[in-house]
């Protein structure tokens, strides 16, 4: 593949697979990813105006859910934002998310906040399912899972693990695997930086680890 440096928006169109699957590019279950959703998808979310959609596209990628919340907070009340977050969100890292970020997940209260943190560090998402499944039913567990992630090991992750990253497609999956084994995260930045711009590298880096 000829190296191309693509923006965060362009990666969704070029590297998501199969080509043209807008839903795969921006959605994980019922919740859209604010960093990869198309303008059409953003405007389908109750409470997202044309101006907010434009601001989202211009400001992303958001490195934390707090950053996204700050953008919407300029024009929406907390109650309005929580309605938006039922359909649109920036996934939070289960191991590093602050209390404020976790509480942005609709339906999360102090009890579940405590349970989310009690089982840190999470090694895999299956651990989250097992532990939080003690407190909620399967339907609620599936809903909550859409809002969170556990960084995957670059050298050991399965294809399915890599493809769980929002906006990921078969072409970029191949690039992730081509440079194994990664010796340092700087190598990941250098190699993947051949195909996408620095902001998109930073977004993708949120989802990976060498631990």
Q: Is the pTM of this model over 0.85?
A: yes
Q: Which residue has the tokens 């590019």?
A: 25
Is pLDDT of 35 > 90?
A: yes
Q: How confident is the model at residue 148 (pLDDT cuts 50, 70, 90)?
A: very high
Are 30 and 143 a contacting pair, CB within 8 Å?
A: yes
Residues 27 and 37: their CA atoms lie apart, in Å, by 7
Q: Is 161 exposed, middle or buried, given 0-12, 13-18 or 19+ CB atoms closer than 10 A?
A: middle
Is pLDDT of 180 > 70?
A: yes
Are 165 and 204 a contacting pair, CB within 8 Å?
A: yes
Task: Output the average pLDDT for the chain.
Answer: 90
Q: How confident is the model at residue 189 (pLDDT cuts 50, 70, 90)?
A: very high
Q: What is the dihedral of CA 116, 120, 121, 124, to 10 degrees?
A: -40
Residues 88 and 75: their CA atoms lie apart, in Å, by 16
- pLDDT of 15 reads 44
């Amino acid at each position: 593949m000829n190296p191309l440096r693509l923006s965060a928006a362009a990666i969704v169109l070029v590297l998501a697979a199969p080509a043209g699957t807008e839903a795969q590019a921006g959605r994980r279950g019922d919740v859209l990813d604010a960093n990869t959703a198309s303008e059409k998808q953003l405007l389908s979310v109750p409470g997202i105006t044309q101006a907010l959609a434009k601001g989202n596209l211009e400001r992303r990628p958001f490195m934390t859910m707090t950053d996204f919340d700050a953008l919407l907070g300029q024009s929406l009340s907390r109650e309005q934002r929580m309605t938006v977050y039922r359909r649109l969100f920036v996934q939070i890292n289960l191991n590093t998310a602050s209390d404020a970020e976790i509480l942005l997940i609709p339906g999360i209260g102090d009890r579940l906040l405590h349970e989310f943190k009690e089982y840190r560090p999470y090694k895999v998402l299956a651990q989250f399912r097992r532990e939080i499944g003690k407190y909620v039913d399967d339907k609620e567990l599936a809903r909550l899972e859409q809002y969170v992630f556990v960084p995957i090991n670059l050298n050991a992750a399965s294809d399915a693990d890599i493809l769980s990253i929002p906006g990921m497609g078969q072409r970029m999956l191949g690039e992730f695997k081509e440079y194994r084994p990664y010796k340092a995260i700087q190598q990941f930045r250098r190699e993947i930086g051949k195909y996408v711009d620095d902001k998109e590298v930073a977004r993708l880096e949120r989802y990976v680890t060498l631990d």
